């Protein structure tokens, strides 16, 4: 029977521009939220965001290539390189048709659309870049990764809003189980903190307006939460068939063992208030993994810091695990530190789950000060915990009602 393990991790986040820098920040409870700089903050109700600081595309692209790629694609290629290097996997020494890419994005090249639309209005259609379309389309993240590293296996792109990253990991996991690839690069990338993107979420009143102290604006499960912090970043995991990994003596972080997904079929943005869809995704993932609720040691929650999401997810966890077990399991929302990375969120959080299992350190939910009676579980408030974690669950809930859950387990022969 095929087993799928994680052998490489890449993270580019508002907390750090490398995997290690991000992970160290998560353990310390470092906030990546700052005053918005990629748009004029004075025009919005929310004036904070979680932006990637210090990313230099020239380390990965020539100046000519940089002009032809949107920032979300640059993030994807850079993070894929991190993951491959971390896995010590040289694609040139492998069958390229057995290595695939499944990296998604919730929104894609919105930055490029805005820039080129301005050129259209000010200078005319003849000045619009011929690279507009291949810069903005969402599938160019996996496309450019495959070109950069010569990967000719299955290549696909998920676009399920905030569930994208988890769906990408889960779908890649299933591709390997079906024998269609030996290795998959899986994850999500997002960079749409632009005047239009930020303005859209701000008009929905979805964003945090705790502007007075940006570092505390994202406060999942806290009674004073009033919206999410818009973020950007990327996560890519190297998923590998166990036999393939063992042949090359690869280091193994964790094993992917379960995947579930459902639809709320309820509302375009709000989760089903009963939590039934999210709960069923968790139940399906546990069934797929062959694990019982009492075996779950840690949940990386979707935990966006919006009033409805956190309340509904808490309810869904109780339904899926049973209230008594739910009260015991450790839960954290790392969005308290990264903000909401949209299509990249589930990928970064999947990588975090793998590191939690490998190192036995659970990152905290920071900015948790005021308990909410509707959110009454153990959210690992404010300080990381050192605890053995054998099985971890990662939840992602997206606009449109998309629910995805991935389960990771400590690797054992």
**CATH code of 205's domain:** 3.40.47.10
Nearest to 16 by CA among 25, 3, 7, 4: 25
Q: Are 214 and 48 in contact (CB under 8 A)?
A: yes
Number of neighbouring beta carbons within 10 Å of residue 122: 8
- Domain-located, residue 413: no
The list of the chain residues with pLDDT below 70 reads none
Domain residues for 268? Answer: 1-401
- Phi, psi (rounded to 5 degrees) for 10: -135, 130
Buried b (16+ CB within 10 A) or exposed e, 346-368: bbbbbbbbbbbbbeeebbbbbbb
Question: Is 363:356 a contact under the CB 8 Å cutoff?
Answer: yes
pLDDT in tens, 337-363: 999 999 999 999 999 999 999 999 999
What's the CA gap between 368 and 47, in Å, rounded? 21
In-domain check, residue 409: no
CA 322 to each of CA 296, 319, 327: distance values in angstroms, whole numbers, following the listed order: 12, 5, 9
Rounded Cα–Cα distance for residues 332 and 344 (Å) = 17
Going by C-alpha positions, the residue among 146, 109, 106, 112 that lies closest to residue 129 is 112
Nearest to 305, CA basis, from 363, 367, 234, 381: 367
Residues constituting the chain: 413
- Pick from 86, 263, 110, 261: which is nearest to 189 by CA? 110
Q: How far is CA 310 from CA 262, 287, 306, 313, in A?
A: 18, 24, 6, 5
Q: Are 409 and 391 in contact (CB under 8 A)?
A: yes
In a domain, 412, yes or no: no
Tell me, yes or no, whether 181 lies in a domain: yes
% of residues, the chain, pLDDT over 70: 100
Q: Residue 353's closest CA among 84, 169, 78?
A: 169
The whole-chain average pLDDT of the chain stands at 97
Distance, CA of 352 to CA of 355 (rounded, Å): 5
In a domain, 410, yes or no: no
The pLDDT assigned to 104 comes to 98
Number of domains in the chain: 1
What local confidence, expressed as pLDDT, does residue 176 receive? 98
- Secondary structure letter of residue 95 according to DSSP: -
365, part of any domain:
yes
Q: Which residues have a catalytic role annotated?
A: 162, 302, 340
Query: Is 212 within a domain?
Result: yes
Note whether 286 and 325 are within 8 A (CB). no
How many Å from the N-terminal Cα to the C-terminal Cα in the chain? 13
**pLDDT for 190:** 98
What is the SS3 assignment for 307? helix
Pairing of strands 183-190, 298-300: unpaired
Given 3-state DSSP classes, what are the helix, strand and coil percentages for the chain, each rounded to the nearest 5?
40, 20, 40
How far is residue 102's CA from residue 142's CA, in Å, rounded to a whole number? 6
**Is there a domain that residue 267 lies in?**
yes
**pLDDT at residue 1, as a whole number:** 84
Listed residue (179, 162, 214) closest to 41, CA to CA:
214
């Amino acid at each position: 029977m095929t087993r799928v393990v994680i052998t490489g991790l890449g993270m580019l986040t508002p907390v750090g521009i490398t995997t290690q820098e991000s992970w160290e920040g998560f353990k310390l409870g470092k906030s990546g939220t700052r005053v918005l700089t990629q748009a004029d903050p004075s025009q919005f109700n929310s004036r904070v965001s979680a932006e990637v600081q210090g990313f230099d595309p020239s380390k990965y692209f020539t100046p000519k290539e940089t002009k032809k790629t949107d920032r979300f694609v640059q993030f994807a290629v850079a993070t894929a390189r991190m993951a491959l290097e971390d896995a010590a996997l040289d694609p040139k020494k492998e069958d390229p048709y057995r290595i695939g890419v499944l990296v998604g994005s919730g929104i894609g090249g919105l930055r490029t659309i805005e820039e080129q639309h301005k050129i259209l209005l000010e200078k005319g259609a003849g000045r619009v870049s011929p690279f507009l379309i291949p810069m903005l389309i969402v599938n160019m993240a996996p496309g450019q990764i495959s070109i950069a590293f010569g990967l000719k296996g299955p290549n696909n792109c998920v676009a399920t809003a905030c569930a994208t990253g988890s769906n990408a990991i889960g779908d890649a996991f299933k591709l390997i189980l079906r024998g269609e690839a030996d290795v998959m690069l899986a994850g999500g990338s997002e960079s749409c903190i632009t005047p239009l993107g930020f303005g859209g979420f701000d008009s929905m009143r979805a964003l945090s307006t705790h502007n007075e102290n940006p570092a505390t604006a994202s406060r999942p499960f806290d009674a004073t939460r009033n919206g999410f912090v818009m973020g950007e970043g990327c996560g890519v995991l190297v998923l590998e068939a166990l036999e393939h990994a063992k042949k090359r003596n690869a280091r193994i972080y964790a094993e992917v063992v379960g995947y579930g997904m459902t639809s709320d079929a309820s509302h375009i943005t709000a989760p089903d208030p009963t939590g039934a869809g999210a709960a069923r995704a968790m139940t399906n993932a546990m069934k797929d993994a062959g694990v019982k609720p009492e075996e779950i040691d840690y949940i990386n929650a979707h935990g966006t810091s919006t009033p409805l999401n956190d309340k509904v997810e808490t309810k869904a966890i109780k339904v899926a695990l049973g209230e008594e077990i739910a009260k015991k399991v450790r839960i954290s929302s790392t969005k308290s530190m990264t903000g909401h990375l949209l299509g990249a969120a589930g990928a970064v959080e999947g990588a975090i789950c793998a590191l939690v299992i490998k190192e036995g350190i659970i990152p905290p939910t920071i900015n948790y000060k005021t308990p909410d009676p509707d959110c009454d579980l153990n959210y690992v408030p404010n300080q990381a915990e050192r605890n053995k974690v054998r099985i971890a669950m990662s939840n992602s809930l997206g606009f449109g009602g998309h629910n995805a859950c991935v389960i990771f387990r400590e690797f054992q022969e």
